[in-house]
Structure 1
Amino acid sequence: MEFKKHNKGIIIENTDISLERTFTCGQCFRWHESAGKWFGIVNGKCAVLSQLDNGIFIENTDISEVESFWVRYLDLNTDYSCMLTDINDKFIKEAAECGKGIHILNQDPFETVISFIISSNNNIKRIEKIIDKFCVLYGEPIKYKSQIFYSFPSPEKLSSVTIEDLAELKAGFRDKYIFDFIKIINSEPSFLKQVSSLDTDAAKKELMRVKGIGDKVSDCILLFAFERGEVFPKDIWIKKAVKNIYGDDFDEHIFGKYAGIAQQYIYYYARLKGVEYGND
């Protein structure tokens, strides 16, 4: 992996990441493509990324930020090909080839918890709509060129929000779960640090103290915000896919420390194949 300065940002060469596959495989909700560029609000600012033949281009950044933030956020130091060497599974090899370039993002825990509470029994378009409204209502405006974006709300900004306020999101039953999480953060400011310090089973149990966080949502949070690559979130797509492929005796533990990326490959493959591998 090599970094090259450009007058508008930094080029990162010799990385296999696919921005399109990474940003559209269900792990994040605030990246959107327009005219060949991916726009997102991360690290307190508007980020603009483009796919290159041998890497990516990040606008409005410098090498210091690439090294301190982007390498970890995009998981650029992980060799995803190791999984294919270590796991002897014909289907996973096929799915991995199909989803080549998917990386597991390392996202902000506070944002990830609320985002996946909102995702519960929901569809992608509605999830994105609710999160966008949440950010407009309680986030800080961020100007990029002629456009205005909004940061994800901070715990401090949400400290006085009421459940009646959250009804404006039109998130349905989820608003009381968001409110419960905000209350926990207000009373236990170190809650997320505590989760981070625990082993995976204990961290999962701690997250499930929050109303609205069950088995699947807690696994998503652990995988996408706490670098717990051994978890295997199971939504309707995954459940149908693994049943069709592996039968009723499927055990995700066969993937070991690669369970999380295996789940992403299966998810991407199942969505691509549609009816054959499970369809909503």
Structure 2
Amino acid sequence: MITKTIKCFDIAQICDSGQCFRMLKKDAQTYSVIAGDRHLEVAQKGDQCIFYCEEDEFESFWKGYFDLDTDYIKYRESIDQQDKYLKEASEFGSGIRILNQDLWEMIVSFLISQQNNIIRIRRCIDNICEKYGEERKDANGHIYYTFPTPKSMACLPEDALKECNLGYRSKYVVRTAKSVADGEIDLDEIRHMSYGQAKEELMKLYGVGEKVADCICLFSLHHFEAFPVDTHIRQALDGYYPEGFPMDRYKGCEGVMQQYIFYYELMGKKIG
């Protein structure tokens, strides 16, 4: 068990920010997180956070996963004082951080996310993990499932994942799993590419368009230049930035600003 005082960190906001689908609220202060083959519980009250893991696991994995070495205060301080909308969005979502998640998991997650809502995405991912992942037990004996590997899904018929409620997205995931398992797409190479190169390579995958590629780049590769545009972001851009979002001003943290806007729009806290 590790106790930390952390500014600009809110596990509840991160859970609802649309970037992670294996994070769930257990009670008023405690959240459960599964990342790859790891499981963690996090309790928070104010700036006080308790991570239920050993010190070495926290230092070697979870600190990086939650991006705790990055100063998010400087991102908020960089916001144009005249931009009332973005200032309020950043204040509303001040505890959001961009997670460092597994590339393969994010590819599948955002293939599933198309024309879908967060609750359904979580259910779909739970289904495929229970069916094709490996069963594990946490320190308290509770069962959880690892995220399935490309190899575990590459041999499936294209419609097999319809049983997991993926619908037409089943063929996207199965074909992509085959591309990765067969070596047509090298995930290790993508991890070392620039934002532009990674986005281009990801868009070679079946079912991956520009928005999905940007989500993958932002939430797994930590390319903060990525600025995914979905219906929530488009609504904000049309309403508050008719001449376009000022990307140049926020160079290097565009994706952080995107998350503030997305969360603000998602939670319905728009300025009247």
User: How far apart in 2 are the matches of 1:217 and 1:29?
Assistant: 15
| Aligned-partner SS, 1:48 | strand
Is the contact between residue 16 and residue 55 of structure 1 (CA under 8 Å) also seen in structure 2? no
> Which of residues 32, 39, 42 in structure 2 aligns to 1:39?
32
Q: Of 241, 246, 253, which aligns to 2:236?
A: 241
SS in 1 for 2:151: coil
Instruction: Tell me how far 1:254 sits from its aligned partner.
Output: 3.8
Instruction: State the identity %.
Output: 35
Q: State TM-score, norm by structure 2.
A: 0.92
Query: Offset at 1:267?
Result: 1.0
Number of equivalences: 268
List alignment gaps of at least 5 residues for structure 2.
Answer: none
Q: Are residues 1:221 and 2:216 paired?
A: yes
Map 1:127-142 onto structure 2 (within 5 A): 127-142=121-136
One-letter amino acid matched to 1:130: C
- Tell me, what secondary structure is at the counterpart of 2:17? coil
The range that moved more, 234-243 or 146-155, is: 146-155
Q: Could you tell me which residue of structure 1 aligns to residue 41 of structure 2?
A: 48
Q: Structure 1 14/168 Cα, relative in aligned 2: closer, same or farther at 3 Å?
A: closer
Alignment partner for residue 19 of structure 1, among 6, 11, 15?
A: 11
Tell me which amino acid in the other structure corresponds to 1:104: I
Partner Cα separation in structure 1 for residue 245 and residue 162 of structure 2: 40
Is 1:101 matched with 2:95? yes
The answer on whether the counterparts of 2:203 and 2:213 sit within 8 Å (CA) in structure 1 is: yes
Rounded to whole Å, the distance in 2 between the matches of 1:42 and 1:268 is 22
| Equivalent-residue separation in structure 2 for 1:92 and 1:15 (angstroms) | 20
> 1:54-65 residue pairs with structure 2 within 5 A?
54-59=47-52, 61-65=53-57
Contact 1:232 1:252 in 2 (8 A): no
Match of 1:30 in 2: 22
Range with bigger deviation, 224-233 or 82-91: 82-91
Partner of 1:196: 191
> What is the TM-score with the length of structure 1 in the denominator?
0.89
- State the alpha-carbon separation in 2 of the partners of residues 239 and 45 from structure 1: 35
Given the alignment, which residue of 95, 99, 120 partners 1:126?
120
Partner Cα separation in structure 2 for residue 65 and residue 28 of structure 1: 20
Residue 153 of structure 2: SS of its match in structure 1? coil
User: Could you tell me how far apart the structure 1 residues matched to 2:14 and 2:200 are?
Assistant: 28
More helix by percentage: 1
**How big is the shift at 1:42?**
1.9
